[in-house]
Amino acid sequence: MGKKIFSGVQPTGNLHLGNYIGAIKNFVDLQNQKGNECVYCVVDLHAITTKQDPKILKSNIRETTAAFLASGIDPKKSIIFNQSLVPSHSEGSWMLGCIARMGWLNRMTQFKEKAGKDKEKASVGLYIYPVLMAADILLYDATHVPVGEDQKQHLELSRDIAQKFNLDFNAPDFLRAPEPLIQKNFSRIMSLKDGKNKMSKSDPSDLSRINLTDSKDQIVNKIKKAKTDNDPLSDDDKNLSDRPEVENLLGIYSSLNDQSLQNSLNEFSGKNFSEFKKKLAEIVVEKISPISIEINKLQKDSNYIDIVLKEGGERANKIASKKVSEMKKIVGF
């Protein structure tokens, strides 16, 4: 039987290779597997949990949608929409927020990381972000959610919320506990400048990430400047445990070539970094440049993007509003 897939990406700009390898590439593969029903959402309600400039947000919504389309998500096969078009996400989130416990949310590491030292100044939205994410998923009865490793804890919370809702209201199986789909290998792409931090949109250094909109020259230059070390490459993967930058670059190479890390190690054993980086730049350019060209092309046709989102929003609304109506009845409204 096919899977019901839901996943989202925040329109917070600077979409990067980590988002592509950890999420979007997987979205396309799942869409193309027979029998799957996929819903891919530009999660703009999530984006405003941190401050956004309204004009830039609008253009980021279009850019993220363009990145979906350019990567191969097909609006005829999958539902593509932006979250704020479907009010049921907010309504469902409120009801689920009354089910989730403070203690559960207090354990969420992403809030701790994003709020930083000054938790008191973080928005309430950032704190309840995982509840909205639970609503996103549960409204579509998603069976599987493709996410990067960093979202695993939020997925577990969605499962807990679903189970507690069903139990509290004696509605067995009403909300379906979703399974995370996390790639076994290379699920966390790290910064090109520091292998201990994940590649991220908000890193102030543009050299830390490869953006999906980077030109060929920018890609080649960033890979040239990526941090490595002085030791040569060897075919023994145990040597990588304290070489996070090298492991990350080999992971990117392996993932884009659909091959194991060991195969990549065998390929470059005894060779120097300039040779490896040349090959790495070639494969990144081969996979990312067509996407980048297509994103730029699509962005010139914002009308088309808006139509895709509107039509996707209408389809999503049918599914989500039905589920929210059922939820309201169960709650007693």
Q: Exposure string (b/e) for 245-257, b if CB count within 10 Å is 16 or more?
A: bbbbbbbbbbbbb
**Residues engaged in binding ligand AQP (CB under 6 A):** 9-10, 12, 18-19, 22-23, 147-148, 150-151, 188-189, 198-202
In whole angstroms, the minimum distance from the beta carbon of 316 to ligand AQP comes to 18
287 catalytic? Reply is: no
Is the Cβ of residue 4 or residue 327 nearer to ligand AQP in the bound state? Answer: 4
114 catalytic? Reply is: yes
Neighbour count for residue 185 (Cβ, 10 Å): 11
Is the Cβ of residue 10 or residue 83 nearer to ligand AQP in the bound state? Answer: 10
Active-site residue among 77, 193, 201, 227?
201
Long-range pairs of 117-126 with CB within 8 A, sequence gap ≥ 24: 123/49, 123/50, 125/48, 125/49, 126/49, 126/50
In whole angstroms, the minimum distance from the beta carbon of 187 to ligand AQP comes to 6
Name the H helices within 139-272. Answer: 152-168, 216-225, 244-256, 261-268
Is the Cβ of residue 309 or residue 327 nearer to ligand AQP in the bound state? Answer: 309
In whole angstroms, the minimum distance from the beta carbon of 224 to ligand AQP comes to 20
In whole angstroms, the minimum distance from the beta carbon of 149 to ligand AQP comes to 7
- SS3 assignment, position 8: strand
Q: Which residue is nearest to ligand AQP (CB)?
A: 22
Q: Are strands 37-42 and 4-9 parallel, antiparallel or unpaired?
A: parallel
Is the Cβ of residue 72 or residue 164 nearer to ligand AQP in the bound state? Answer: 72
Q: What angle do CA 150, 152, 153 make, to 5 degrees?
A: 100
Is the Cβ of residue 23 or residue 86 nearer to ligand AQP in the bound state? Answer: 23
Single-letter amino acid code for the residue at 260: S
Q: Exposure string (b/e) for 299-324, b if CB count within 10 Å is 16 or more?
A: beeeeebeebbeebbebbeebbbebb
Is the Cβ of residue 45 or residue 327 nearer to ligand AQP in the bound state? Answer: 45
In whole angstroms, the minimum distance from the beta carbon of 327 to ligand AQP comes to 25
In whole angstroms, the minimum distance from the beta carbon of 145 to ligand AQP comes to 9
Q: How far apart are CA 227 and CA 208, in angstroms?
A: 9
Active-site residue among 25, 198, 222, 323?
198
Q: What are the tokens at 123?
A: 């928005």
323 catalytic? Reply is: no
Active-site residue among 3, 58, 114, 227?
114
Q: What is the dihedral of CA 58, 60, 66, 69, to 10 degrees?
A: -100
Neighbour count for residue 53 (Cβ, 10 Å): 10
Catalytic residues: 114, 198, 201
